[in-house]
Structure 1
Amino acid sequence: MFVEQRIVTLFKRNAHHTLTYWSVFFSFGLCIAFLGPTILDLKCQTNSTLSQITWVFFSQQFCLLIGSTVGGIFKRTLFSALSALFVSALFISVIFAIIPLCNNVLVLAIAMAVSGLAMGIIDTIANIQLVTIYQKDSAVFLQALHFFIGFGALVSPLIADPFLSEHGCGNHTENGTEMMHHFRNLLRNSPIAAQNINQSHLPHGGGEEESIVHYAFWIMALINLPVPIIVLFLMYREQLIPCCPRSTPRLLDKDELAMENQQGAEGTEVEQAAHEGGGHGDIFSCCQNDNLRGLPVSFFMIHILGGMVLFMTDGIVGAYAGFVYAYAVAPPISLSHKTAGYLPSIFWAAITAGRLLSIPLTYRFPVVRLLMFNLVGAIVTVLLLLILYTSSTFLFVGTGLCGFFLSSIFPCMLAYTEDILSYQGCATTILVTSAGMGEMVMQVLVGSIIQTEGSYSFLLCGVIIACIGLMVFIGLFFFARMHTNYLTAGTTKKSAMVEEETPEQNGSAKVEPEKEAGKS
């Protein structure tokens, strides 16, 4: 068979949980890419400037980072994890429903911040729960999880486009329409990029058309509404709803069941790692002295370097998706606005296809090889884009290749680091937080460099960031080998101690019968 029967059995045993987390991440993907295309309509709705609306979206990204950081708090029990998912998914639907009613930019900023906090909590909890359930087999299921967020991000513009006003607050002129398409395609993929636009270029004047974007938000709220219902149904099946009577004892938690499956092969190592690592939790609980005492340097470096790799690679994803349109319409390529508008869609489509293809590849090949292949492939692709910077044809090809190579780095890195740390450390929370921070910081950094140095610096920044990511990953690989040797030496030492104690016990057991025989 293409997939081992053991994997199929494990999936069937945890199918309800896994499908619930996948559906939550599809909704997360819809939400994370849905707001960008509506930024100009929200500007008109709140009678605010483009700069003010940009900071509204920045508040959402910042709170998403906070939610990713504190999301590990809710993993302590299955009840708290599912309850947090239910509340967060419900809040997202409510926020999307009330966004059309926010006529003040400050109220809109608060609503966006709450939705970002909810999405950050979902991001961390879903990743942690899948890692806890499948442990050494989690790479395949993490690839599928992140395929759904890519698929959601690809589908979301299709939902928004029919309801976007063609002229916004401006004139109904041909030039105004073309300029509005220009800004919408740019802002669809990077709210931060709005800071680089001179507001004097926006068309102003009479002839406003009534916006119908509120229908898009309400449809989005309805599409997202089944997600909290699915989570609530899972809580009902697990008998975690307090108001429902419990006629039979609640089933074992999925993380307990996964722990039992792993104990057959390496129970002693897992228990020792659990004692040392302190378990998955928020970053602050991971930094307590009791959890850090006696751990080797390699343990800390794996967390730090793994987070740095995702800081760089997810930063490239955010920056490329945000500024590839602006790069394409500028000299020397100077594509038309309509043609350049396909580039972000190609990039997200390549990410989605790459994550889909990575599901069987992760099953067949070690994740460390896939990580090295993807990092080298991303460097080569961006370097070729830099060399062939005048070729519009290769810009489309390179955009697809870049999205393909970057697509599976995050789930592979998650599975790789958790495997090294025996699935008991704080790697998931730290990696998710680092990835979100990198996407936020790199967008601002690359955008400011493009504004001062020109569009050519866009690809140069990509090459530098990708090379730094590869060097950091090589360092991570070195410390991973060091940590594996440390765990192996500890296990060998314990086995030797057990072997020394066993003959002594056997000898004392033989002496006792001899004494008894002498007495008799």
Structure 2
Amino acid sequence: MAREGRPLAGTARGAPRGEATPGVIKAAGYYLAFITLGLVSASIGPALPRLAEQVSVGVSAVSIIFTARSLGYLLGSLISGRAYDRFPSHLVMAAGLTLMALALLAIPAMPLLLLLAAMGLALGLGQGVVDVGGNVSLVWAFGDRVAPYMNGLHFFFGGGALISPLLIAQAVLLTGGHGWAFRIIALLILPVVAYLLALPSPAPHRQPVSAASGRSEALLPLIAALMLIYVAAEVSYGGWSFTYATTTGLAGETAAAYLTSLFWGAITLGRLLSIPLALRMRPAALLAASIAGALLGLALVNLAPGSAAALWAGTLVTGLSMAAIFPTAIILTRSFMTVTGRVTGWLLFGSSIGAMLMPWLVGQLFAAFGPRAIMLAILADLLALAALFGVLIWRAQRVARRAAAA
């Protein structure tokens, strides 16, 4: 479990580099990076029809860019984990941001589907690098005080993701194409690169070589699986709620689009609200309450499948409750083991696997059993999350007892 008295990164005792940099200045760099990460993450979907026209294929064919980007994200998460442990984190983050910017500038100019997919791979690679870097650098910079900052980091990611579709829509309205939106986002990334490079990188945390540390790291697969199952539920709800609402007749297309926006907006608002909660609650307690709230929201939707009011209320409760799960899981990891770049890379690798597989599985269940299967599958996923969380806490207590007895 957490070791008392460990110096905080960024203080005179904890880190020789960046010790004089005020916390707000350090946090601002990571928050700006995650705003751009959110902008990039939500940029492809709204531009998909225009991208299909650009390479002269159908929308179904051009959707391969999502698969390519996901593959790039997987690779970026794994490769960059060890890079962060060996090189200054701001330098590695700047490289990832630069790759994102270059890919965004290139995407509107790609005339062939294969080249477009290659740029999607590069974009995902940069995203994986930045995602790992923002999370691990924040832990290194703030140490025991990281909880509210971590929730703030993911709030700013959500803010960027909310703004991006609006930016794409305005670019199409004003210029008739998507190219300028991609160029604007790319240009917004460049000052963030300069800002991070101007700041000293936080000192990395090293995993001590001992029997106790080995037992703690045995929890890593469980935490990675926890991230996988959670992100699977989040992405599936966000991606399939529109289809569920329209095919069940609970909403028309416009209302269903608002329902999806409500879900992502609730997650963003929830991450803002969870900042003060993270100061007052232990990570395990906050995570347990969040999982319970998400289960309550899905229960509302599934117990009243013909009620539009239950769908809207359940979506709001689910989004608000899910908000703190991802950042709090990273904070909880720190109480079990030293959070290194490699550890963070594996956590985000797990989350990206969930984002890739679960939406596809939900689609198969929808095709076989109809729209009710969508919300039932997500409810089952959250039940698995609750069970795995219980196993994780039980295993962590066993590890702590063994470490105390050693």
- 1:99 equivalenced with 2:107 (yes/no): yes
5+ unaligned residues in a row in structure 2: which ranges? 1-6, 12-19
Task: Work out which structure has the larger RCO, using CA pairs closer than 8 Å and 6 or more positions apart in sequence.
Answer: 2
Hey, what does 1:181 align to over in structure 2? none
- 1:305 equivalenced with 2:222 (yes/no): yes
- 1:144 equivalenced with 2:60 (yes/no): no
Residues 102 and 186, structure 2, Cα contact 8 Å, conserved in 1 = yes
- 1:325 equivalenced with 2:242 (yes/no): yes
1:307 Cα deviation after fit: 1.2
* 1:137-176 alignment runs, 5 A limit: 137-164=145-172
Residues 371 and 413, structure 1, Cα contact 8 Å, conserved in 2 = yes
The one-letter code matched in structure 2 to 1:230 is: Y
Residues 41 and 211, structure 1, Cα contact 8 Å, conserved in 2 = no
The one-letter code matched in structure 2 to 1:410 is: F
1:18 Cα deviation after fit: 2.2
Hey, what does 1:225 align to over in structure 2? 190
The one-letter code matched in structure 1 to 2:160 is: G
1:77 Cα deviation after fit: 4.3
For residues 414 and 218 of structure 1, the distance between their equivalents in structure 2, rounded to whole angstroms, comes to 33
Please give the per-residue CA displacement for 1:14-47, whole angstroms capped at 9, x wherever unaligned. 4433221111111101100111111011101110
The one of 377, 388, 403 equivalent to 2:304 is: 388
Segment of structure 1 superposing worse, 9-18 or 380-389: 9-18
2:208 partner SS: helix
Hey, what does 2:290 align to over in structure 1? 374
- 1:474 equivalenced with 2:396 (yes/no): no
- 1:88 equivalenced with 2:88 (yes/no): no
The one-letter code matched in structure 1 to 2:147 is: A
Hey, what does 1:410 align to over in structure 2? 326
2:367 partner SS: helix
* 1:500-519 alignment runs, 5 A limit: none
Residues 69 and 433, structure 1, Cα contact 8 Å, conserved in 2 = yes
2:114 partner SS: helix
Hey, what does 2:355 align to over in structure 1? 439
- 1:315 equivalenced with 2:232 (yes/no): yes
For residues 429 and 93 of structure 1, the distance between their equivalents in structure 2, rounded to whole angstroms, comes to 22
1:89 Cα deviation after fit: 0.9
Residues 70 and 124, structure 2, Cα contact 8 Å, conserved in 1 = yes
Please give the per-residue CA displacement for 1:193-249, whole angstroms capped at 9, x wherever unaligned. xxxxxxxxxxxxxxxxx9422122222222222221212322xxx4xxxxxxxxxxx
Residues 82 and 341, structure 2, Cα contact 8 Å, conserved in 1 = no
The one of 202, 208, 227 equivalent to 1:254 is: 202
Cα distance change on mapping 1:366 and 1:329 into 2, 3 Å: same
TM-score (norm 2): 0.90
Hey, what does 2:55 align to over in structure 1? 46
1:255 partner SS: coil
Hey, what does 2:17 align to over in structure 1? none
5+ unaligned residues in a row in structure 1: which ranges? 1-5, 167-209, 239-252, 260-270, 277-293, 491-520
Residues 270 and 324, structure 2, Cα contact 8 Å, conserved in 1 = yes
TM-score (norm 1): 0.71
Hey, what does 1:495 align to over in structure 2? none
For residues 214 and 187 of structure 2, the distance between their equivalents in structure 1, rounded to whole angstroms, comes to 49
Cα distance change on mapping 1:104 and 1:78 into 2, 3 Å: same
1:301 Cα deviation after fit: 4.2
- Alignment length (residue pairs): 391
The one-letter code matched in structure 1 to 2:295 is: I
- 1:421 equivalenced with 2:369 (yes/no): no
Residues 41 and 164, structure 1, Cα contact 8 Å, conserved in 2 = no
1:356 Cα deviation after fit: 0.6
Please give the per-residue CA displacement for 1:437-474, whole angstroms capped at 9, x wherever unaligned. 11111111112211222111001001100000100000
The one of 63, 74, 92 equivalent to 2:72 is: 63
Please give the per-residue CA displacement for 1:107-158, whole angstroms capped at 9, x wherever unaligned. 1101111010011011111111111222222222111111111111111111
Cα distance change on mapping 1:65 and 1:98 into 2, 3 Å: same
Hey, what does 2:35 align to over in structure 1? 26
Residues 74 and 125, structure 1, Cα contact 8 Å, conserved in 2 = no
2:248 partner SS: coil
The one-letter code matched in structure 1 to 2:236 is: A
Residues 446 and 458, structure 1, Cα contact 8 Å, conserved in 2 = yes
For residues 438 and 312 of structure 1, the distance between their equivalents in structure 2, rounded to whole angstroms, comes to 6
* 1:109-124 alignment runs, 5 A limit: 109-124=117-132
For residues 279 and 183 of structure 2, the distance between their equivalents in structure 1, rounded to whole angstroms, comes to 40
Hey, what does 1:401 align to over in structure 2? 317
1:486 Cα deviation after fit: 2.4
For residues 287 and 367 of structure 2, the distance between their equivalents in structure 1, rounded to whole angstroms, comes to 32
Segment of structure 1 superposing worse, 58-67 or 82-91: 82-91
For residues 70 and 405 of structure 1, the distance between their equivalents in structure 2, rounded to whole angstroms, comes to 32
The one-letter code matched in structure 2 to 1:132 is: W
Segment of structure 1 superposing worse, 400-409 or 466-475: 400-409
- 1:274 equivalenced with 2:208 (yes/no): yes
1:481 Cα deviation after fit: 0.8
For residues 125 and 223 of structure 1, the distance between their equivalents in structure 2, rounded to whole angstroms, comes to 19
For residues 82 and 318 of structure 1, the distance between their equivalents in structure 2, rounded to whole angstroms, comes to 29
For residues 339 and 96 of structure 2, the distance between their equivalents in structure 1, rounded to whole angstroms, comes to 25
For residues 298 and 467 of structure 1, the distance between their equivalents in structure 2, rounded to whole angstroms, comes to 27
The one of 111, 125, 143 equivalent to 1:135 is: 143
1:431 Cα deviation after fit: 1.3
Residues 418 and 427, structure 1, Cα contact 8 Å, conserved in 2 = no
Larger radius of gyration, structure 1 or 2?
Answer: 1
Cα distance change on mapping 1:102 and 1:301 into 2, 3 Å: same
Of all paired residues, the percent bearing the same amino acid is 26
Cα distance change on mapping 1:449 and 1:108 into 2, 3 Å: same
CA RMSD after TM alignment: 2.4
For residues 130 and 337 of structure 1, the distance between their equivalents in structure 2, rounded to whole angstroms, comes to 40
- 1:456 equivalenced with 2:372 (yes/no): yes
